[in-house]
Structure 1
Amino acid sequence: MSSSKLQLSLLILQVIFITSSVIQAASANTKLFREYIGAEGNNVSFSDVPIYPQVHFHFILSFAIDYTNSSTPKSTNGNFNVFWDTVNLNPSHVSSIQAQNPHVKIAMSLGGDTVNGNHFVFFNPTSINSWVRNAIDSITQIVREYNLDGIDIDYEHFKADPDTFAECIGRLLYYLIQNKIVSFTSIAPYEDDSVQPHYLALWRKYGHLIDYVNFQFYAYKKGTTISQFMGYFETQSSNYKGGKILVSFGTDGSGGLSPKNGFLKACSMLKDQGKLHGIFIWSADDSKEANFRYEKQSQALLASID
């Protein structure tokens, strides 16, 4: 082969490689928007929240907790009860929003921070087998009663080691997926020495069962800059390698990078890099007073993805 033909062939291969890389990067962007709802008791309903038809919208009911509903709640070893606002978010409301918006899906989140704002929710299994058995039975019942599509894991306090957490949650997710009880799964970790190791242990062993990582970027300090946020995103992308890391902010006055300080600009930067896997907000309850301003802005950005 002549030198000129060889150079031409190498140039063509280079163009193909670059084009392929650009296509792969662009395909990593998604129009997924997710929002937690029902935890704060602010009488918010699905129909209150603006839903853009161009995006894939997930409501995440918050929370189902394996605690009793008594005034002094106690751990129940995997027997989950509904703790979200059932007046405004009951099975008939789920059916209604699903009928009105075919692109809307509903998930429920397990765990959360506290029961009724007073008692920490601890992951506290008596044994792996008994917790998994009870969790499968109680969660399947709730999923079928509410006709739910997915499940999210948001435990934030632990009385069990990371390996036990990984086995319990991993086996639960495996059963729910294999038996087509749910169609998607997510986890909601954040950067904390008492929290992150549990989720990393779960990811290492069962990451292939997890569709989305709802990383709580609002758990970082208030005043986070765009540069810091981008660094945090890269760190967590490395921690949950191969996962779809969703970016997030809170409308409850929590920390992290707020929309006022450049969150949407950071999202646009990730979009340009082909790394905007989706956005989620904590929470609809807190956004109601401001008429869901940032929900609208976030969905408008996602809707602009080609």
Structure 2
Amino acid sequence: MDSSTFSSTAALLFFLLPLHFLFCNFPTIGAAQPEKLFREYIGAEGNNVRFTDVPINPSVDFHFLLAFAIDYTDGSHPAPTNGNFRVYWDTENLGPSQVPVIKAKHANVRVGMSLAGDTIGNNKPVYFHPTSIKSWVANAIHSITEIVTTYSLDGIDIDYEHFSSDPDTFAECIGQLLFYLKQNKIVSFTSIAPFEDDSVKPYYLALWRKYGHLIDYVNFQFYAYPRGTTVSQFLKYFDEQSSNYKGGQVLVSFGTDGSGGLSPQNGFFDACSALSKQGKLHGIFIWSADDSKKADFKYERQSQDFLASQK
């Protein structure tokens, strides 16, 4: 996209946005949902994991989420760059040439990228830090479109976990970005990855209230709850988050990195069975393939087999 085309397109976006939201300002789902959806984050830990390492069941819809694209500089003292995203996942094993290959090999696979994440460099928090809504959105549209095109990606996931702005600014920046990417068919799916924390929750709820109709999946980080969560507690948490993100496809999750929440060993799939019987199981995601490689992807197989077995 040349600079003149980008400038005119961005100008048209900001003119049309107010008209769009006169008619579409309520949380509904942006696209028809797969019945058996499995998602997995990959590439964040530098463990030399490849797409081809991960078992893929042909009877589920499978999304890889590359982690992460970050709007920060490189170096020992990284700093925010106002929406200018760069690739920070393992490009040696998960480069532009590998994405079309895995999608061609498995018709049920799509690949997206996750934005931001928790930390960068020497465990420095990645902050959402826009200079202005207009400049952040323009930069994000340009940089993300370039990455999506280069890597032949299908979607994006929003995983900001630290903020130096107010919730309304976050909602406007992310919402306008999602609107542009979907309206121009740059991506076919979008998701958010919130978790239960008072410093995080208001931002994602503000985004959901105004732009929920543009968000296909809620990758809720249930593994951010305390370790030792019981099945009954998990089901309670799920109902609470389904109420918070009313009308959304809230996916259940666990981590293979030893984090908290309800683990497969302690009843995760029992909780999934209960949700499935109630018609509430929309899919499963795992953080992350990098950690799962150590155990030969045991729980990836179990999760996909479970989903494939559901009527």
With normalisation by structure 1, the TM-score equals: 0.90
* Of 286, 295, 299, the match for 2:291: 286
- Counterpart in 2 of 1:232? 237
1: CA distance between counterparts of 2:103 and 2:244?
34
Is it true that 1:218 corresponds to 2:223 in the alignment? yes
* Of 251, 256, 277, the match for 2:282: 277
- Counterpart in 2 of 1:163? 168
* Of 253, 260, 272, the match for 1:255: 260
Other structure's SS at 1:43 match: coil
Other structure's SS at 2:73 match: coil
* Of 40, 65, 74, the match for 2:45: 40
Q: Which moved more, 1:166-175 or 1:108-117?
A: 108-117
- Counterpart in 2 of 1:105? 110
- Counterpart in 2 of 1:195? 200
- Counterpart in 2 of 1:133? 138
Structure 1 residue 288 displacement after superposition: 0.2
- Counterpart in 2 of 1:15? none
Q: CA contact under 8 A between 1:29 and 1:276: conserved in structure 2?
A: no
1: CA distance between counterparts of 2:121 and 2:102?
26
2: CA distance between counterparts of 1:82 and 1:68?
11
Q: Which structure 2 segments of 5+ residues have no match? A: 1-31
Q: Which structure 1 segments of 5+ residues have no match? A: 1-26
* Of 191, 196, 201, the match for 1:186: 191
1: CA distance between counterparts of 2:33 and 2:193?
20
- Counterpart in 1 of 2:54? 49
Number of residue equivalences = 280
1: CA distance between counterparts of 2:104 and 2:73?
32
Q: What do the CA deviations read for 1:81-131 (whole angstroms, capped 9, x no partner)?
A: 000000000011111101101110000000100113521100000000000
Structure 1 residue 132 displacement after superposition: 0.2
1: CA distance between counterparts of 2:194 and 2:285?
13
CA change 1:117–1:234 in 2 (3 A) is farther
Whichever residue aligns with residue 297 of structure 1, its letter is: Q
Whichever residue aligns with residue 299 of structure 1, its letter is: Q
1: CA distance between counterparts of 2:157 and 2:230?
28
2: CA distance between counterparts of 1:70 and 1:79?
16
Structure with larger Rg: 1
Is it true that 1:209 corresponds to 2:214 in the alignment? yes
With normalisation by structure 2, the TM-score equals: 0.89
Whichever residue aligns with residue 102 of structure 1, its letter is: A
Q: CA contact under 8 A between 1:29 and 1:274: conserved in structure 2?
A: no
Whichever residue aligns with residue 104 of structure 1, its letter is: V
Q: What do the CA deviations read for 1:200-249 (whole angstroms, capped 9, x no partner)?
A: 00000000000000000000000000000000000000000000000000
Q: What's the RMSD between the two structures over aligned residues?
A: 1.1
- Counterpart in 2 of 1:14? none
CA change 1:282–1:238 in 2 (3 A) is same
Where do 1:69-84 residues align within 5 Å?
A: 69-84=74-89
1: CA distance between counterparts of 2:54 and 2:296?
8
Structure 1 residue 28 displacement after superposition: 8.4
Q: CA contact under 8 A between 1:29 and 1:305: conserved in structure 2?
A: no
1: CA distance between counterparts of 2:284 and 2:270?
13
Q: CA contact under 8 A between 1:60 and 1:108: conserved in structure 2?
A: yes
Other structure's SS at 2:97 match: helix
Structure 1 residue 70 displacement after superposition: 2.1
Other structure's SS at 1:91 match: coil
